[in-house]
Amino acid sequence: MAVPVVTDATPMDADVMLDSADASVAPSDAGGAAPHDGPAQHTPSPRESAKLPTAQTDPPGPPTASAPESPALDFTALPRALESAYSAYDVDAAIRPTRIAVSEVWRRRAQPALLAAPTESTMGASEQAREKQKAFDLLDALSRSGALAFEAASLHVLVAATHQFDRSLMGTVISDSVNPIEKLERSSLIIASTIHDAPPTALLHGEHRERVSKFSAGALLIKATPLAASHK
């Protein structure tokens, strides 16, 4: 880290005065010196040299503390944080983690040029492996094998959860006399507060807080901190 060094740049004007009595001119040798066409040079005496001001530099101060970097977000810890929030606030135990399985054949939509029309193609296992290797080769070239950092990047992480009811939709409304929308609102608040690391009250508009507090998730709205932070 570069530490700035401040140089004293105070002008030396009328406050610096030389005593004329201390100024002396060295006499010429007996044999005489050759005439000098240029301006006369003045050799200061030891006393005058002691009074001549010299440029002073302030000693370097202590290194300034840089702003603390925000901790990196560990996406692999999100499932565990969600499980802790489910256990604490999902009183119905209706939220279930969901595993997503992709198909073997992918559909690719790409543009060969910026102004060209997008084209679609299918990709099997071999094409997927080849395109994945090309993407990592491009990242390796742009970052010079990791020596350069990316100032901005976009990363998409998909975490799925399922709210499961014991009955069908009509059975939940008629037989259990339960509004499924209220249950889903509570589940959404639990997940959103954990993902966005924000208190539940900050995720609702003011006109909806009273209704959600009364019917959906009253226990959640009294939390002033994110749900994930209260279980770390």
Contact 131, 148 (CB under 8 A): no
Same domain, 149 and 178: no
Residues 89 and 176 in one domain: yes
Q: Please check whether residues 153 and 178 belong to one and the same domain.
A: no
Q: What integer pLDDT is reported at residue 203 of this predicted model?
A: 85
How many helices and strands (H and E) does the chain possess?
7, 4
User: Within 13 Å and on the Cβ side, how many CA atoms surround 9?
Assistant: 3
Q: What distance in Å separates the CA atoms of residue 96 and residue 159, rounded to the nearest whole number?
A: 12
Number of domains comprising the chain: 2
| Domain, as residue range, for 133 | 101-111+118-157
Same domain for 150 and 175, yes or no, is no
Co-location of 173 and 230 in the same domain: yes
Paired tokens of 149? 């950092």
> Which portions of the chain are predicted below pLDDT 50?
1-34, 36, 231
Chain centroid, CA 228 distance in Å: 20
Distance of CA 167 to the CA centre of its chain: 45
86 with 172, same domain: the answer is: yes
Q: Do 135 and 218 share a domain, yes or no?
A: no
**Burial degree of 169 (CB within 10 A; 0-12, 13-18, 19+):** exposed
**Partners of 36 in the β-ladder:** none
In terms of C-beta density within 10 A (0-12 exposed, 13-18 middle, 19 or more buried), how is residue 106 classed?
middle
Scanning the chain, the segments in alpha helix (DSSP H) are 46-51, 78-89, 125-142, 169-170, 180-196, 206-211, 218-221
Name residue 102's amino acid.
V
> Is there a single domain that holds both residue 135 and residue 228?
no
Give domain status of residue 214, yes or no.
yes
- 216 domain residue, yes or no: yes
35 lies in some domain = no
Residues 95 and 179 in one domain: yes
Is 232 among the domain residues?
A: yes
d(CA 201, CA 193): 9
Residue 147 belongs to a domain: yes
Strand partners, 95: 163
Of 163, 201, 159, the C-alpha closest to 86 is 163
Note if the pTM is more than 0.75. no
The verdict on 126 and 219 lying in the same domain is no
- 9 belongs to a structural domain: no
Residue 222 in domain: yes
- Report the pLDDT value the prediction gives residue 82, as an integer from 0 to 100: 92
